Structure 1
Amino acid sequence: MSDERPPDHGSTEKGFVLFTEGDLLYEDMLTQIAAARTEVLLESYIFADDEIGQRFAQLLSNQAQAGVRVRIHLDAAGSFFWSSHKLTDGMISHGVQVRWFHRWDWRRPWRYNQRNHRKLLVVDGNTAWVGGFNIHRENSISVYGPARWRDMHVRFGGNLAAQARILFDDFWRGKKRSHFPLTSVNNTLLVSNYTRGSRRYMNMLFRQTMADAQQSIHVTTPYFIPDSLTQKLLTRAARQGIKVKLLVPGKTDIPLTRWAAQAVYAPLLDAGVQIHEYLPRLLHAKAIVVDRHFTIIGTSNIDYRSFFLNYELNLFTQDEELCHQLETQFIEDLDSSREISAVHWKRRFWGDRLLELIGWMARRWL
């Protein structure tokens, strides 16, 4: 797949639309926001004051002035270096409701470490998007160029979008009692980890999905810092003859996370896990495809922060066409990656091992 031209996205029979290019996603979102009649709900870890963020801010402001109810929930830590008071105050002055999640408070400093990592847009309660894309120029080939970040998002409608609206509203209101048990829509679950029970449930779904694999586990993640149980699941699967392949970044925006990830390469490689580093661009996509017929796509990384600290939102689905698209994308990404061999890894420079130790010691804070 060429990095110079955005590929087309496609819809599945049950209404899923997969996006792998920021420009196509943003245009789709902006078109739907412009057509909104009653309500626009947006959550984003990063909402930047740049060419992309300003387009969203202007349209959201226009819609609020036109009488559409617009609520935006942004993470204070995630947007700290990206957003600006000018951008958000401008939206507020036009009637947009903006809420910052866990702003710094010296009386409760520990809260700042727990972040809203969800990326969710719901328009009129009947169309929703979830995935890894933030609102910033780094995802746009037209603004940032061929080096734009590699990411994924999914659009869906119907009852699943209605559930997404409820999940947004619960989080906005700080409602700790979740709608449990969740209702499957066409063999698809939309799961948040906002409450303690739902966090345990989401982690269980991740692990059970990998534990049930019979043929293959294909993982795409930008931040791979697995806890001990996840490591055991992956190594056990590989030793049982299941093809376990990891796609991780060859380039990163946070070097410490790369060092922490590399600290677990050796035991995984020894067990037969194949590790591939994506080379063309910064990888920010998050998906797991198991046996080609079950997939997880959303906001969670395979790391301590997503499993135990941050608030996340993920789709767990057996939708045949979406699974096929994600499997195909995974194979294409492997063609642009470098496989790490166990023999080569054992011969790495001793200084790299020191950096891995430093990263691993900080793994619970990354």
Structure 2
Amino acid sequence: MSAATMLTANASGVVANAVVMADTETIQLYTEGDRLFDAMLAAIENAQKQVWLETYIFADDEVGRRFAHALSERAKAGVQVRLLVDAVGSLFQFYRSLGSDLEQAGVQVHHFHRWYWRKPLRYNRRDHRKLLVVDGCHAFLGGFNIHRESSQHYFGNARWRDTHASFRGELAQQAAELFDAFWHGDKHHLPIDNKQAKSTLVANQTRFYRRQLNSIYNDFLGNAKQQVCLTTPYFVPDHHTQKVLIAAVKRGVEVRLLVPHTGDVRLARWAANAVYARLLDNGVRIFEYLPRMLHAKVAIVDGNWATLGTANLDYRSLIQNYELNLVSRDTDFCHQLQAQFEEDLKEASAVCPVRWHQRRWVPRLAEFLGWCVRRWL
């Protein structure tokens, strides 16, 4: 049985701050960091039992210090506060003094996979998840990190364009179980999947589940009948995923890919450009988002299946890193994400196949170098 037939999902959704409810789930979408951070901080400040926060980047800046203050205050009030930050993602950003202040306030701080000479290979496997769970019943998940680059108030119009979701009910309970198991190093524990639910959370703690996350993408892309809309900041697909996208076009499916015009990792940008020619020649339409850094990770297929979360369409996310995605068949949720995709396209420029083939040898060489190191980006 394929991952597509195995997976049924549960809930509903919204663009910006509109809310749609379905069954026991409420999903709200955020595309502005300031609104998201205000909502997260409000949830933390109202916590009664637990605050569990997991993030790739926690910067000691204006945004990070707001979160540090809120976490410290709840810990002093007797609430269990856990903070899990990635040792590489927060390197040179989460300073020792900030960690000491948090621990003195009672916050349990853990740095994921710090360098240890006895286990050097694990250093390449990072915790890329961005998850907040409050009292086991309210959760936030998506692409936003805890740093000023995501805030219009602190970073201005150059702020990163990202997508996050908040949800309650059964999905939030799943998120709590996933965080707790990961915190204790139990990477084999996963919540019992409700096969009747419209939405679910997909983690990839083990080799089997890493393959499943990859299979979910390829199965749904492979079964698309009308359109595929992909938004990703780091697009470095393997050969199989490229074939799946090309096969979809040949079946008459409209495949549109939205990527940043200017990325924050130059090598990743070069690696992504290395696959453009093949995709463009076979009918995949590629658009570059112009205003600012695009960091959202969203896919919508046929308007009735969608996913958002922390996983990029690259080797590191699908094979190396620990990721977490929300996957849903709820039509309201899918339509809200589709509407946001169309809005983003208004600020994007289509990549012209003819002009792309006319680029000079210098960028071609850079693309070759980027592709050679794609598994380490």
The TM-score range, normalised by the shorter chain, is over 0.9
Give the structure-2-normalised TM-score.
Answer: 0.94
C-alpha distance in structure 2 between counterparts of 1:8 and 1:197, whole Å:
34
Give the partner amino acid of 1:170. Answer: A
1:182 Cα offset (Å): 2.3
Aligned residues: 360
Instruction: Out of 175-184 and 293-302, give the one that drifted further.
Output: 175-184
1:50 Cα offset (Å): 0.3
Match of 1:3 in 2: none
1:325 Cα offset (Å): 1.1
Does structure 1 residue 171 correspond to structure 2 residue 182? yes
Alignment of 1:164-313 (within 5 A): 164-179=175-190, 182-184=193-195, 186-313=197-324
C-alpha distance in structure 2 between counterparts of 1:313 and 1:183, whole Å:
17
1:185 Cα offset (Å): 6.4
Residues 251-286 of structure 1: CA deviation (Å, up to 9, x unaligned): 111111010000000110011000001000000000
Does structure 1 residue 341 correspond to structure 2 residue 352? yes
Give the structure-1-normalised TM-score.
Answer: 0.96
Match of 1:52 in 2: 63
Give the partner amino acid of 1:47. Answer: F
Does structure 1 residue 10 correspond to structure 2 residue 18? yes
Give the partner amino acid of 2:257. Answer: L
Does structure 1 residue 143 correspond to structure 2 residue 154? yes
RMSD: 1.2
Identity of aligned residues (%): 51
Give the partner amino acid of 2:216. Answer: L
C-alpha distance in structure 2 between counterparts of 1:111 and 1:219, whole Å:
30
Does structure 1 residue 78 correspond to structure 2 residue 89? yes
Give the partner amino acid of 1:34. Answer: E
From 298, 323, 343, the equivalent of 2:334 is 323
Give the partner amino acid of 2:280. Answer: L
Give the partner amino acid of 1:11. Answer: V
Alignment of 1:29-68 (within 5 A): 29-68=40-79
1:125 Cα offset (Å): 0.3
C-alpha distance in structure 2 between counterparts of 1:158 and 1:78, whole Å:
30
C-alpha distance in structure 2 between counterparts of 1:339 and 1:178, whole Å:
43
Match of 1:4 in 2: none
C-alpha distance in structure 1 between counterparts of 2:44 and 2:66, whole Å:
11
Structure number with higher relative contact order (C-alpha < 8 Å, ≥ 6 residues apart): 2
C-alpha distance in structure 2 between counterparts of 1:253 and 1:8, whole Å:
24
Structure 1's unaligned 5+ residue stretches are 1-6
Q: Secondary structure at the match of 2:368?
A: helix
Give the partner amino acid of 2:62. Answer: E
C-alpha distance in structure 1 between counterparts of 2:212 and 2:40, whole Å:
30
Give the partner amino acid of 2:272. Answer: A
C-alpha distance in structure 2 between counterparts of 1:99 and 1:56, whole Å:
16
1:239 Cα offset (Å): 1.6
Preserved CA contact (<8 Å) 2:60 2:94: yes
Match of 1:28 in 2: 39
Q: Secondary structure at the match of 2:149?
A: helix
1:184 Cα offset (Å): 4.3
Q: Structure 1 runs of 4+ off > 3 angstroms? A: none
